[in-house]
Amino acid sequence: MVPLPYYLVLSGILFGCGVTGFLIKRNVIAIFMSIELMLNGVNLSFVAFAAHWRALSGQVFVFFVMVVAAAEAAVGLAIIIAVYRTRETLNVDQVNLLKL
Amino acid sequence: MIHWVLFLVFGAISVAGAVNLLAQRHPINSALSLIAVLASLAVEYLLLGAEFVAAVQVIVYAGAIMVLFVFTIMLLNAGEEERTRGSRVAIVFGIPGMLIASILIAWILVRYSDTGAVRVGALAGTPTAIAPLLFHDFLLPFEVTSVLILIAIMGAVVLASREPARTSAERGQG
């Protein structure tokens, strides 16, 4: 049987990859996918803790996280399309209207 | 034994997919490797007894959300991203520091936590077991998320529509 910490380490690795991608990626869609990766890392630790503490509420929480992620993806991709219409670019370095 | 093999194989696939997501420069390749990550995570959920969550992961995440991503990438004709040079200090100190910190945390977690093993099959997250929680204990959050989804759909339509929606007053003037 796989001990709980191994699942937590795997979830931490996935979350770390998401954070790294969020920082180093320059394409706004790739940044968005890194956020999804972070959410999935958290979901894995939710499910691992749910199995460990015999509490099904953790799995219901994962369901809610997925619903919020779906809503976020819909709105975020619409924002990306709107930004692309006005700025003609997907590079976050060139979307700098709010920069000083 | 078989659980260890499945955990290690699909954990390795998910980590490899995550690293590939970072390494690829074209967004469509990143999206496809993210699908590999999501699918292998569904197997990890199955190992943990979360059958309903695994099914939802495949249908909603690997299915619906990633289709949305691929559609957007195709629609915007996203090309290869150009890299900008990061700072030298971040590469020299950041990567070794991050490696040391993550190895330390992993070692402490594995070595000094006396939590028992996750027993496979001890907790069955079947739809039958999830349904009373979802539709009784968490009924209010469930209904609130349905409103959230509705607002998100309307927001997406408003944001992505080509012509800005005109009010009836403007239409009367125009």
Measure in Å the smallest separation between the Cα of A85 and chain B Cα atoms.
9
Question: What is the set of domains in chain A, with CATH numbers?
Answer: 4-94 (1.10.287.3510)
Quick check: B104 and A37 in contact, CB under 8 A? no
pLDDT band with cut points at 50, 70 and 90 for residue B166: low
Question: Region B36-64: what's the mean pLDDT?
Answer: 92
Do B132 and B74 lie in one domain? The reply is no
In a domain, B98, yes or no: no
Q: How many structural domains is chain B composed of?
A: 2
Question: Region A26-34: what's the mean pLDDT?
Answer: 91
Question: Hey, is the C-beta of B170 within 8 angstroms of any chain A C-beta?
Answer: no
In a domain, B157, yes or no: yes
pLDDT digits (tens, 9 = 90+) for B85-98: 667 777 788 888 88
Contact assignment for B15 to A8 by CB distance below 8 Å: no
SS3 state of residue A27: strand
Q: Is A98 exposed, middle or buried (0-12, 13-18, 19+ CB in 10 A)?
A: exposed
Please state the ipTM of this predicted complex. 0.91
In a domain, B151, yes or no: yes
pLDDT digits (tens, 9 = 90+) for A57-70: 999 999 999 999 99
| Residue of A15, A27, A49, A84 best to disrupt the B interface, most CBs of B under 10 A | A27
Question: Region B103-109: what's the mean pLDDT?
Answer: 83
User: In CATH, what number is assigned to the domain containing residue B12?
Assistant: 1.20.120.1200
Which pLDDT does position B167 carry in this prediction?
56
In a domain, B9, yes or no: yes
Quick check: A14 and B44 in contact, CB under 8 A? no
Q: Can you read off the two tokens belonging to residue B56?
A: 């939802």
Residue-range definition of the domain harbouring residue B153: 127-165
Residue B50 to residue B142: CA distance in whole angstroms: 19
Name the pTM for this structure: 0.86
pLDDT band with cut points at 50, 70 and 90 for residue A52: confident
In a domain, B154, yes or no: yes
Do B3 and B75 lie in one domain? The reply is yes
Do B68 and B136 lie in one domain? The reply is no
Question: Region A45-51: what's the mean pLDDT?
Answer: 91
Which residues 40-79 of B have a C-beta within 8 angstroms of A?
41, 44-45, 47-50, 52-53, 56-57, 60-61, 64-65, 68-69, 72-73, 75-76, 78
pLDDT digits (tens, 9 = 90+) for B10-19: 999 999 999 9
Strand partners, A34: none
Which pLDDT does position B174 carry in this prediction?
47
